Amino acid sequence: MATFEKLENNRAKLTITISPEAFGSAVQKAYQKTANRYNVPGFRKGKAPRKVIETMYGEGAFYEEAFDLAWGDAYDAALAEHDLTAVDKPSLDITSIDAASGVVFTAEVQLKPEVTLGAYQKLEVPEPDFAVKDEEVMAEIEKDREKNARFIEVDRAVENGDRVILDYSGSVDGEKFEGGTAEDQLLVIGSGTFIPGFEEQLVGMKAGEEKDINVKFPDEYSAPLAGKDAVFAVKIKAVQVKELPALDDEFAKDISDFDTLEALKADRKAKMDEKAAKNRQTAIENIALQKAADNAIVDIPEVMIERQINYMLRDIAYQLSMSGLSLEDYVKYTGTDMNGLKESYRKEAESRVKMQLVIEAIGEKEGVACTDDDLKAIIAEYADGSGKSAEEFEKTLTDEDREYLSDNVLARKAVKIVTDSAVLVKEETEKKPAKKAAAKKAEKTEDAEAAEKPAKKPAAKKTAKTEPQE
C-alpha cells in the first residue's frame, strides 16, 4: 500500500508500506546472502544460525540488506497503484523499520511531465520536391565511370588533374625528418593531398626529371613541423592521365546485369525514385511532427534532458571509435571541454525529448494499441534485419525487449496519425519575381564569396609518421 502526494515541479512523494510478512521474507533472504560476513565463535563462517547472529549483532543486523532487497518491488507496485511514471531514481527515506510491523518509507521522485497538446492533425506542410531528375541519374552513372577509370602513361609535362608517380625526400634545415621520404608515391595533381604549394610546383615537370621543391608546413600542422620551411627533393617517374570507359552498352554490361545503357539508366532511376519517395515521406513526417511539438506545451525535467545528452554523446563516442578517435581526443581537438560539448547538444536534446513526449501523448489521446499481430509484425521486421527467423529472434527477447518493441509500435501509430492527416501545400515559387530574382542574385553572390575564401582545414592529428600531407 502507498499514499501519493504531488509536489512542485512535477515531483511526487510516495509513502510506502512493506508488510511484516514481505519484510520477514526479505530478512531471511538477507541472512542467506550475507551470513558469511559474520564471525561467530563456535561456528564455521557462514554457518551460524540467524538467531545467533541477531543475538550477537542486534535484531537489525540484516535490516539494511533486507530493505535493499524489498524496496524495489514495493516501489514499483506503488507507482502502478497510482498510475505514475518515474523518469529518475527515487530519493528514499526510511520512516520506521522492524520485523513486527514491517517497513514504512518515503520515495520522492521526478515524474514524467504532463503534455498539453495543441493542434497535431491537418497541419499544413510544404510539399517537398524529391523528384529524381535525369541529370541526377547520369551523375550516379558517372560515379561508376570514375570507379572504372584507368590511368595510362603519357609522354608530356605534368598538367593539373594528371596522376604522377614520384619519389620524394624531405628535409628541414638540411636534416631529413621522419615520414618525409617515400618511393613510387601516387599523387593526383590538384587533389590537395599534399601540403600547400607542393603539387603546384610539379606542374610542367616530365618523367625522369628531378627538382627541389620549397614549401612551408602549415601553422596548424602537428609538431615539430608546424610552420617550418622544408625542401623536398622530388623525382617524377611517370605521368598518367585518367581514361574513362565509353558510356555505351558495353559499359553497362561490364558493371551490371543489364545488356544496354538504357536498361541500366532505367534501373538506377527506379532505385533512386524509391529512395526519393522514402526521403519525401521522412521530410513530411519531420516537418509535421515538429509543428505538432511546437504547438504543445510541456515542462521537461532537467534529468530527462541530461539523459538524452548522454545518449547522444555515447552515439558520438561510438562513431568516433570507428575512426580510432576517443571522445576525449575529439573534445581536445575541437578546443572545448566536456561541459561545453554537452551544452552544445542541450537544445537538440531538449527538442528530441519533447518530440518523444508529444508522440506518446498523441498515442494516449488517440487510444492507439499494440495488438498481437502488430507485435508479430515488428518482431518479424527486426528478425529480418538480424538475419534470423522470426521464431529464432523471438526466443532471444526479454520482457524489456518486448516492451520496447510494443512502445515502438505505439509511436509509429501516433506518428501515422499526424502525417496521414497533414495537408501538403505547394510553395508559391512564382510570386514576386523581382524579389525572387534579387534573392537568387544574393545567393549567387554569397556562393561566389565563399568560393573565393580558402576553406580552413582542421589541425592534423599528431602521428608517428609525418608525410608531406595536410
Q: Where in the chain is the domain with CATH 3.10.50.40?
A: 150-243
Residues of the chain with CATH 3.30.70.1050: 2-112
Question: Looking at domain 2-112, which of 3.40.630.40, 3.90.550.10, 3.30.70.1050, 3.30.530.20 is its CATH number?
Answer: 3.30.70.1050
Report the CATH number of the 150-243 domain. 3.10.50.40
pLDDT at 322: 87
Distance CA 369, CA 376 (A): 14
pLDDT at position 336, please? 83
The pLDDT value recorded for residue 139 is 96
Cell 609535362 belongs to: 157
Q: Write down the pLDDT at residue 197.
A: 93
Low-confidence ranges of the chain (pLDDT < 50): 429-470
